[in-house]
Structure 1
Amino acid sequence: MKLIQLTDIHLTTPGQTIGGRDPNANFEAALTHALSQHPDTEAIVITGDLSDWGDRADYERLRARIATLPVPVHLAIGNHDDRAIFLQVFPELADADGHVQSRFPLSRGTGLVIDTWGPRSHAGFFCAKRCAWLEQALTVADAPVFLFMHHNPVPTYIAPLDHIMLRDSDTFGAVIATHRQHIAHIFFGHCHLPLSGSLYGVPVSGSRGTNHAGWADFTERHMLLGSDLPQAYAVIVANGATVTVQMVEFGYRGERRIEGSPDYDAWNRTTMVR
């Protein structure tokens, strides 16, 4: 089973840029690259910050674009989004309590999207109603479960990022701990960095976004930092007992070169490029 995770696409008014990059063009480039390299993917999940300013026009363009794709697309919202405006365009994605949460079948298990959005905050939240929805969804879901969210549920140990991580991480973690035997992986965005770890033994990972990139500076105490690292998305392959997550830097524009054959007998000082 193969899935594509895009994150932090930050769609904007056409012509506007972020960090000198065009989020709309980069979203298109990510889709083109992912679907050409991975035509066997069975779904795309976009883990939040769909719009940079929560504008209705961004969501309308997103809806029109994903309707043309050959695979289903599942959406989470992030801190740059506006839940009320998003649900005006995607009303079918609201759960019974008005959160953007959904469950979808996969050829191997179940995908779950949860809502970590909160008003007037870049941090993530997970209230009692969202907790109850996740508890019930995990109880009935066919295992293995692949869980998608925007905010990181584990610390990065980079102070400004941890200030805006999932604040109700203990509440969220208690649900994960109860159902950890059925959860294969948790995927998030938000940090604009490649990250991996675990939560109560469940693997977690985050990918760089499709437009602007972050920078990990463990000495910075106050400001979020950006960089010119390449745009990226994640490829997820679940096969039997394994789950592999690879960050693909589709925005890389530098040289690619052959370094040699993987055949050990072909390794020598003459043929290996150094």
Structure 2
Amino acid sequence: MKLLHLTDIHLTRPGNTIGGRDPNANFEKALQDALHKHRDAEALFITGDLSDWGDAEDYARLRKRIANTTVPIHLLIGNHDERPTFLKEFPELANADGHVQYTVPLSLGTAICLDTWGPETHAGHFCETRARWLTKQLEQVEGPVWIFMHHNPVPVRVAPMDKIMLLDADLFGETIRPFARKIRHIFHGHCHLPLCGSLHGVPFSAPRGTNHAGWADFAATRLLSSADLPEAYAVAFATQASTLLHMVEFGYDGDIKGEGSPEYADWDRMTMVR
């Protein structure tokens, strides 16, 4: 099974930029790259910050763009989004509690999409209502389970970023802990950093994002940091026995150099590129 993971696309009014980059153009570039090179993917998930300011026009353009893609696209919301505005354009994604939460059947298990949005804050939220919903899904769906969410559920040890992580991380952790053997992977965004780790033995990861990149300034106390690094998305390859993830830096425009044959017999000091 192959899955595509895009995050933090930050769509804006046409012509606007973020960090000197055009997020609309970069999202289109990411989508074309992913759908062309990975047309055999089973699903594509975008884990929030779909719009930079939660504008209705951004969601309308997004719906139109993904309406007829060759790979099914599944949307989540992040702190830059506005849930009420988003649901006016995508009402079918609301569950009975009004959260943007749903499951997606896959050839290898089930994807669970979570809503970690909260009003007037950049931090993430996971309330008792969401915990009950997630528990119910984890009890009912067939494993393996693949969880998609926006906010990071574990501190990244960068103080300004950790102020806006999933504030209810303990509740989230206790909710998934009894099902740890059933959950294969957690995908998140929000940090604009390539991250990986585990929570109660469940691996998690995040790619950089399709527009502006973050920087892990471990000495920072107040401000988030950015860097002029390539835009990226992730590709996950999964079998019954393994999971492998690549961060694809589609924004890289430098040279790709051949280093020679992987065959051991071809390695010598004269022909190997160094």
Which residues of 2 match residues 64-103 of structure 1 at below 5 A? Answer: 64-103=64-103
Match of 1:138 in 2: 138
Q: Deviations over 1:179-222 (max 9, x none)?
A: 11110000000000000000000001011000000001111111
Query: Contact conserved, 2:196 with 2:203, CA < 8 A, in 1?
Result: yes
Q: Does 1:232 align with 2:232?
A: yes
Alpha-carbon distance in 2 for matches of 1:265, 1:158: 46
Alpha-carbon distance in 1 for matches of 2:48, 2:262: 38
Which residues of 2 match residues 170-181 of structure 1 at below 5 A? Answer: 170-181=170-181
Match of 2:155 in 1: 155
Match of 1:37 in 2: 37
Q: Does 1:201 align with 2:180?
A: no
Query: Contact conserved, 2:108 with 2:240, CA < 8 A, in 1?
Result: no
Aligned partner of residue 180 in structure 2, secondary structure = helix
Aligned partner of residue 173 in structure 2, secondary structure = helix
Alpha-carbon distance in 2 for matches of 1:24, 1:42: 24
Regions of 4+ moved over 6 Å? none
Match of 2:217 in 1: 217
Query: Contact conserved, 2:151 with 2:166, CA < 8 A, in 1?
Result: yes
Alpha-carbon distance in 2 for matches of 1:248, 1:87: 30
Q: Cα RMSD between the aligned structures?
A: 0.6
Alpha-carbon distance in 2 for matches of 1:37, 1:90: 28
Alpha-carbon distance in 2 for matches of 1:178, 1:269: 54
Alpha-carbon distance in 2 for matches of 1:266, 1:160: 50
Alpha-carbon distance in 1 for matches of 2:260, 2:220: 40
Query: Contact conserved, 2:39 with 2:71, CA < 8 A, in 1?
Result: no
**TM-score with structure 2 setting the length:** 0.99
Match of 1:105 in 2: 105
Alpha-carbon distance in 2 for matches of 1:36, 1:92: 28
Alpha-carbon distance in 1 for matches of 2:259, 2:54: 45
Aligned partner of residue 181 in structure 1, secondary structure = coil
Aligned-residue offset at 1:101: 0.3
Which residues of 2 match residues 15-34 of structure 1 at below 5 A? Answer: 15-34=15-34
Aligned-residue offset at 1:240: 2.2
The answer for unaligned runs of 5 or more in structure 2 is none
Match of 1:119 in 2: 119
Match of 2:55 in 1: 55
Pairs aligned (count) = 274
Aligned partner of residue 181 in structure 2, secondary structure = helix
Aligned partner of residue 4 in structure 1, secondary structure = strand
Aligned partner of residue 117 in structure 2, secondary structure = coil
Alpha-carbon distance in 2 for matches of 1:259, 1:219: 37
Alpha-carbon distance in 2 for matches of 1:138, 1:73: 22
Alpha-carbon distance in 1 for matches of 2:166, 2:245: 22
Alpha-carbon distance in 1 for matches of 2:102, 2:71: 17
Amino acid at match of 2:47: T
**TM-score with structure 1 setting the length:** 0.99
Alpha-carbon distance in 2 for matches of 1:4, 1:128: 30
Alpha-carbon distance in 2 for matches of 1:117, 1:109: 25
Alpha-carbon distance in 2 for matches of 1:29, 1:52: 18
Match of 1:272 in 2: 272
Aligned partner of residue 220 in structure 2, secondary structure = coil
Match of 1:190 in 2: 190
Aligned partner of residue 30 in structure 1, secondary structure = helix
Aligned partner of residue 123 in structure 1, secondary structure = coil
Aligned-residue offset at 1:103: 0.3
Q: Deviations over 1:100-149 (max 9, x none)?
A: 00101001000010000001111000001111110001111110000000
Aligned-residue offset at 1:264: 1.3
Identity %: 62
Alpha-carbon distance in 2 for matches of 1:35, 1:265: 37
